[in-house]
Amino acid sequence: MKKLKITFLVMLMFCAQNLKSQNILPAENVFNLYFDSFVRYNDDSLKELNSYLINFLGKESTHKMNLRDTYTERVDYFTQLFLSNLPANVASECKDEARNYFVVLMDNFKDAKYNIKTIKPVFNENIKNQAISEINYEVSFKVPENASELNIGDVKKIDAAEMKKYLVDLTIQFKKASKTVTTVQKFNMFQIKAGNDTYYWNGGPQEMTWKLNEFYFKNIN
């Protein structure tokens, strides 16, 4: 019986050590989780990121959100903002076409491709002995080649049929997007030391989304 207890304890220790080693990730992998979560709205990546962060930040500091819902809210927000600038009767008849357009527009954003160019340690000027991993990465998006050529004129004077055609044509342009636009961005992650292990964390990853949103929308207008 005593041997059985010892064997059981050894197994528990092995499992705990194995679990611990699985949660030690290099900076590149942690960045991948942040990008897939907050740019690609991937809930599985967010769960994996939270599973990693909980080891050194605790459950209260994990990200509590449903990214699929966040994505849907973004599409709805853009749709309503667009429709609010149209005459009421036109907006009422073009809801589906407007939403389809913004779904494709956001899907193109989610499909961004990225490449990490450099990862280098820097020291935080404001906090003594606080190291940061500075990640420089390149992101590319597919945008329409000739979307700007689709001109609807004064939206206050357009009728529903014209607006529907415009939105359908624009949606097709985004589905067939072939032009690549590229930006180089920076993302910082604090280094958290735990014994011989190093964890990585960014307290405001939404900034990544804001910067890429700004670049993306600037290049589709």
* Band of pLDDT at residue 49, cut at 50, 70 and 90: very high
User: What whole-number distance in Å separates Cα of residue 80 and Cα of residue 221?
Assistant: 18
Pick from 72-86, 189-203, 206-220: least confident? 189-203
The closest of 27, 33, 38 to 212, measured between CA atoms, is 38
* Band of pLDDT at residue 19, cut at 50, 70 and 90: very low
Q: What percent of the chain has a predicted confidence (pLDDT) above 90? A: 70
> In this predicted structure, what is the pLDDT of residue 209?
94
> In this structure, is residue 14 part of a structural domain?
no
> In this predicted structure, what is the pLDDT of residue 149?
59
Q: What percent of the chain has a predicted confidence (pLDDT) above 70? A: 85
Average pLDDT value over all residues in the chain:
87
User: What whole-number distance in Å separates Cα of residue 79 and Cα of residue 92?
Assistant: 12
Pick from 40-54, 91-105, 147-161, 179-193: least confident? 147-161
> In this predicted structure, what is the pLDDT of residue 130?
76
> In this structure, is residue 16 part of a structural domain?
no
CA atoms within 13 A on the CB side of 21: 6
> In this structure, is residue 197 part of a structural domain?
yes
> In this structure, is residue 13 part of a structural domain?
no
Q: What is the mean pLDDT of residues 31-37?
A: 98
Spatial contact of 42 and 72, defined as CB atoms under 8 Å apart? no
> In this predicted structure, what is the pLDDT of residue 146?
75
Residues recorded for the chain: 221
- Please give the residue range of the domain that contains residue 203: 26-218
**Per-residue pLDDT at 21 exceeds 50:** no
Task: Provide the domain count of the chain.
Answer: 1
Spatial contact of 209 and 39, defined as CB atoms under 8 Å apart? yes
Q: What is the mean pLDDT of residues 76-89?
A: 95
pTM, full prediction: 0.85
Q: What is the mean pLDDT of residues 172-193?
A: 94
Single-letter residue type at 129:
N
**Per-residue pLDDT at 57 exceeds 60:** yes
Can you tell me whether residue 97 is helix, strand or coil? Answer: helix
Helices 206-218 and 95-110: crossing angle, nearest 10°?
A: 110
> In this structure, is residue 17 part of a structural domain?
no
More confident residue, 9 or 115: 115
> In this structure, is residue 66 part of a structural domain?
yes
> In this structure, is residue 191 part of a structural domain?
yes
> In this structure, is residue 19 part of a structural domain?
no
